[in-house]
Amino acid sequence: MQDRCRTDKMVLNVIPLLLAFLIPFGIITSFHDIRYGKIRNKHILVALLYGIFINLAYSFNLSYLGFVAVNASIALMVSFLAWYLTFCTAGDSKLFFAYSFLVPLGIYEYGFINYFPSATIIINTLLPAFAYFFIRLMQITDMEEKKEIFKKTVNFKSLSGIAILLFGFYWGIFNIMGTLGISMTGFMGPIIAILAIYYLAKRSGIDITKAAIILCILRLIFDYQGLMSVSFWVSFAAMITMFTFLVNFVPELGRFMFSQEKKISELREHMMPQEAIARKGKKYVKVPLSKTVDAGNGFLVDYKASGLTKDDIYTLKQLRKDKRLDFETIIVHQTIPFAPLMFAGVLLTVLMSGNAYGFIYNYLF
């Protein structure tokens, strides 16, 4: 697929046209995200229209345009899932889809991923951002706080749960993706696995533990030969460590940087609560937030991708006025504008011909 999508001369011709639109588009969407906390639909529409122009300028080849359609379709599906699973806002999801359609596939020379080369934008966006915020988190937390979080997230119960999930589900997902021709190598494997496991655990209604145990038994029956090598167990231990670090340790550590306590009177629309509010007798109390909470079970405020609504805030203020709340403050998640980070990731993708880390590795070695 890559060979049919890329011609050096064609790329050199199209990059000035791409940057002429990409730079002002990235600046405008970043400004609106920082200033107003939203991405305007009209900006996304203009980007999609320009994407049609830039891809046609790159190539009229029907085979290439077919690959563009496949990549855009997968990008749209991933964008929807990321929003649906509350990993990001609707505006950020639409922005990623627009960037995926805007960047011609011939740009992706390094780290080309069949069917979904735009996944490189995710990698180039998330890894530098993750590195920066992780370093900041390590700086602002003391050793006692780090030890407390480590004990909370790295224990037998947590590690065994992750091991069962990975042993069963990662094997199942790997085989399904392989059948579809989608690569699970490099960074794509963990990203796909996290999305799939999160969806099954939080949204599908499936008992994730029982399903994982069944898959583990099937793997022992059908894949026992692959379990005989030392290299498998070394890579499996590394995967458990990585998932524990990414899914448990870092999010807990992030509470020190991205959480703040707000009075009920200070709450604003779209703020992300980090505590659910449940009815207890005639009053309401705060409980640890669970993204699996069903609002029908007496929870007044729960996690939503859109954050607090005007009705949520009005209800809380009224309950506070009526003295039916046992608290005066609520912890909310301090969000960061994601559009500037994605803009930087797209620029890295264009200027370094795809995966920035592949480009650097090729340059050095």
Helices (H), 103-142: 119-140
In a domain, 134, yes or no: no
What global pTM score does this model have?
Answer: 0.73
Q: Assess if residue 283 is contained within a domain.
A: yes
Same domain, 226 and 311: no
Is residue 6 domain-shared with residue 119, that is, in the same domain?
A: yes
CA angle 217, 222, 225 (to 5 degrees): 110
Amino acid 297: pLDDT: 46
* Domains in the chain, number: 3
Same domain membership, residue 148 and residue 88: no
**Cα–Cα distances in Å, from 67 out to 2, 62, 105, 300, 317?**
10, 9, 8, 46, 52
Between the alpha carbon of residue 75 and those of residues 13, 81, 94, 188, 231, the distances in Å are: 25, 10, 10, 13, 33
Place of tokens 């011709």: 13
Separation of alpha carbons 191 and 199, rounded Å: 12
Cα(167)–Cα(186) distance, rounded to whole angstroms? 18
Q: In 321-357, which positions are buried (b, 16+ CB within 10 angstroms) versus exposed (e)?
A: eeeebeeeebbbbeeebbbbbbbbbbbbbbebbbbbb
Q: What is the pLDDT of residue 273?
A: 79
pLDDT at position 70: 93
Residue 262 lies inside a defined structural domain of this protein = no
Task: Render each residue's pLDDT in the chain as its tens digit; 365 residues.
Answer: 544 454 456 777 889 999 999 999 999 999 999 888 789 999 999 999 999 999 999 988 899 999 999 999 999 998 988 887 777 888 899 999 999 999 999 899 888 888 889 989 998 998 888 888 888 888 888 888 888 888 888 888 888 888 988 888 888 877 777 676 666 665 566 666 777 776 776 666 677 788 888 989 998 998 888 888 888 899 889 888 888 887 788 888 877 777 778 888 888 777 777 777 877 777 778 776 544 343 444 566 655 656 777 888 888 888 888 888 878 888 887 677 889 999 999 999 999 888 887 777 677 76
Q: Which of 127, 133, 153, 86 is nearest to 257 (CA)?
A: 133
For residues 108 and 11, state if they share a domain.
Answer: yes
Full DSSP string of 60-107: --HHHHHHHHHHHHHHHHHHHHHHHTTSS-HHHHHHHHHHHHHS-GGG
Is 136 within a domain? no
- Print the domain residue range for 26: 2-124+338-364
Examine the fold and report which residue of 234, 257, 280 is the final residue of a domain before the chain moves on: 257
16 plus 103 within the same structural domain: yes
Residues 146 and 221 in one domain: yes
| CA 53 distance to own-chain centroid | 29
Does one domain contain both 289 and 233? no
Shared domain check, 120 and 6? yes
In contact, 133 and 140? CB cutoff 8 Å: no
Q: What is the DSSP letter of 277?
A: E
Q: In angstroms, rounded to a whole number, what is the distance separating the alpha carbons of residues 318 and 334?
A: 24
CA–CA separation, 109 and 355 (whole Å): 8
Q: Are residues 116 and 8 in the same domain?
A: yes
Determine, yes or no, domain membership for 156: yes
pLDDT of res. 290: 47
Residues 20 and 59 in one domain: yes
Whether residues 218 and 275 share a domain: the answer is no
Residue 19: predicted pLDDT = 94
Asked if the structure places residue 130 within a domain, the reply is no
Residue 133 lies in a domain: no
Do 22 and 96 lie in a common domain?
yes
Cα–chain-centroid distance for residue 165? 19
In a domain? residue 131: no
State the residue for tokens 């011909």.
353
